[in-house]
Amino acid sequence: MTVPADAAIVTVGTELVRGLAVDTNTSEIARALAAVGIDVREAVSVADDADSLVAHLRRCTASYDLVVVTGGLGPTHDDVTREAAAAALGISMCRDRRIESGLAAVAARHSDPRAAEQVFVQADVLDGARVLDAVLGTAPGQVVPTTRGELVLLPGPPREMRPLLEAYLSGRPSGPAAPAVLHCAGVSESDLQMAAQDVLGGRSDIELTVLAAPGDVRVVLFDRGAGSTELAAVSASIAERIGESCYSTDGRSLAQVVLDRARVARVTVATAESCTGGLVAGALTEVPGSSAVYVGGAVTYSDDLKTTLLGVDPALLRTFGAVSDAVAMAMASGARDVTGAGLAVSVTGIAGPEGGTAGKPVGTVWFGVAGAEGVRAEMRRFGGDRHFVRERAVMTALDLLRRALRAG
């Protein structure tokens, strides 16, 4: 086919339209298609219902060069994608002997003969389709020619989908420059928008979007004809204008930046967590190779453990309460002492829904940072529910570590 310019993504699964699962395939496929210059125009989720799927596949294959479908390729009765695709395109299917023999071992593992027989439906291939052999799991992908371009059927589980999508896209020349993304923390969405717009002026060859998530605001610049060199230059100008609040322009997460800065500064890092209950540690250790810098820490949910594990003076807890600058600093210092790390951050706050008072309402969080230069405390008051308060507190703790490592 000619190079496809636009695409639709169709995700199939009753769980998606009933709210029992969140679709992550769309996001992943959209990024992969954007990287080769294909513009995704719509992403639609539909139930495991053959009639409805046939209608959407007809509409999408008639409207877009490329239609990528995930889900409904498994062996069970509600896997209807193969049949729906055949019906939508008016073509038939036949059982592929090679795939069938590959599935024999899988079928043999089932003690139930019904389940064993069902396995083989995954060998049904649409006429004229190119098969993308399964890498994980058992369902192969299929690439079917359409009047406008191609229809690509991929399995639903992200781990099975991913290698087949890569196989399908491999060898394609890349499209426009990848979007430039500036990750920022500790700054408002509207301030970022204004800063970026002032640098951009009225130019139309770069498109601006500002995206906000808890504690992580992103400025995204799309190439609309500017080219990669110009996009990089503009991105650098905006980053300079934003200053230290922009923590990465190369896709690194806040945790990655903390670990990288610590590695360069030859400083080890520790954590002492109360209300975030291990999530700051969890974010740092999500990064491969974090063990070179991050030594560990304590989750001191009870007051007693703050004393036992971190040596917080019980008098401080009695006098100021667990959520206080004094205890935050004692936790950070204690974590630094007990772990021998160069830099430690502490978090102690009221995530809710219970535990708030007039003076310390839900959302009040104290942070401590202990390093070679001493120890200090900062307070934030976050809105939102327990989950949101914890999420914001994790990002703030990481950002305090990052800023401390800049200064250090």
Q: Which of residues 236-275 bind a second copy (CB under 8 A)?
A: 271, 273, 275
Of positions 167, 169, 338, 379, contacts a second copy by CB under 8 A: 338
Tell whether residue 224 is a contact of a second copy (CB under 8 A).
no
297 is a site residue for a second copy (CB under 8 A): yes
Q: Does residue number 285 form part of the binding site for a second copy (CB under 8 A)? A: yes
- Tokens linked to 375: 């120890």
Distance of CA 117 to the CA centre of its chain: 38
Residues 317-336 that bind a second copy (CB under 8 A): none
Name which of residues 140 to 169 contact a second copy (CB under 8 A): 157, 159
What DSSP character marks residue 226?
S
Q: Give yes or no for residue 289 binding a second copy (CB under 8 A).
A: yes
User: Of 276, 383, 372, 385, which Cα lies nearest the Cα of 323?
Assistant: 276
298: contact with a second copy by CB under 8 A: yes
When asked if residue 209 is in the footprint of a second copy (CB under 8 A), the reply is yes
Among 135, 167, 220, 265, the residue binding a second copy under the rule CB under 8 A is 220
Nearest-angstrom CA–CA distance, 215 and 229: 30
Beta-carbon count within 10 A of 401 CB: 28
Instruction: Pick one of 291, 314, 319, 361: the residue that binds a second copy (CB under 8 A).
Output: 291
Q: Closest approach of Cβ 327 to a second copy, in Å?
A: 14
Distance (Å) of CA 223 to CA 39, 49, 176: 12, 38, 6
The verdict on whether omega for the bond into residue 353 sits within 30 degrees of 0, i.e. cis, is: yes
Name the one range near a second copy by CB under 8 A: 16-24, 81-89, 246-254, 395-403.
16-24
Contact between 231 and 177 under an 8 Å Cβ cutoff? The reply is yes
**132 lies in the binding site for a second copy (CB under 8 A):** no
How far apart CA 76 and CA 68 sit, in angstroms, is 21
Q: Which of 52, 237, 253, 307 binds a second copy (CB under 8 A)?
A: 52
Q: Report the nearest approach of a second copy to the CB of residue 44 (Å).
A: 4
Identify each DSSP E strand in 52-197 by its residue range.
66-70, 93-95, 124-126, 130-132, 141-145, 150-154, 180-184
- The secondary structure element, H or E, covering residue 221 is strand 216-223
Binding-residue total with a second copy (CB under 8 A): 92
DSSP state for residue 291 in the 8-state scheme: G
Contacting a second copy (CB under 8 A), which of 36, 58, 87, 110?
Answer: 110
Q: Determine the longest span between alpha carbons in the chain, in angstroms.
A: 79
Residues 351 to 380 in contact with a second copy, rule: CB under 8 A? 352-354
46 is a contact residue toward a second copy (CB under 8 A): yes
The neighbour count for residue 312, using CB atoms within 10 Å, is 27
Nearer to a second copy, 179 or 371 (CB): 179
**In this chain, which of 1, 3, 62, 76 binds a second copy, going by CB under 8 A?**
76
| Cα–Cα distances in angstroms (integers) from residue 224 to residues 58, 337, 387, in the given order | 30, 53, 38
Whichever of 1 and 212 has its CB closer to a second copy, that residue is: 212
311 — alpha (psi -120 to 50), left (phi > 0) or beta? left
226 is an interface residue for a second copy by CB under 8 A: no
In whole angstroms, the minimum distance from the beta carbon of 221 to a second copy comes to: 12
Measured CA to CA, the distance from residue 293 to residue 289 in angstroms comes to 8
Distance of closest approach, residue 208 Cβ to a second copy, in angstroms? 9
* 43 part of the interface to a second copy, by CB under 8 A: yes
Q: Which is nearer to a second copy, 213 or 407 (CB)?
A: 213
Closest to 283 measured CA to CA, from 311, 258, 316: 258
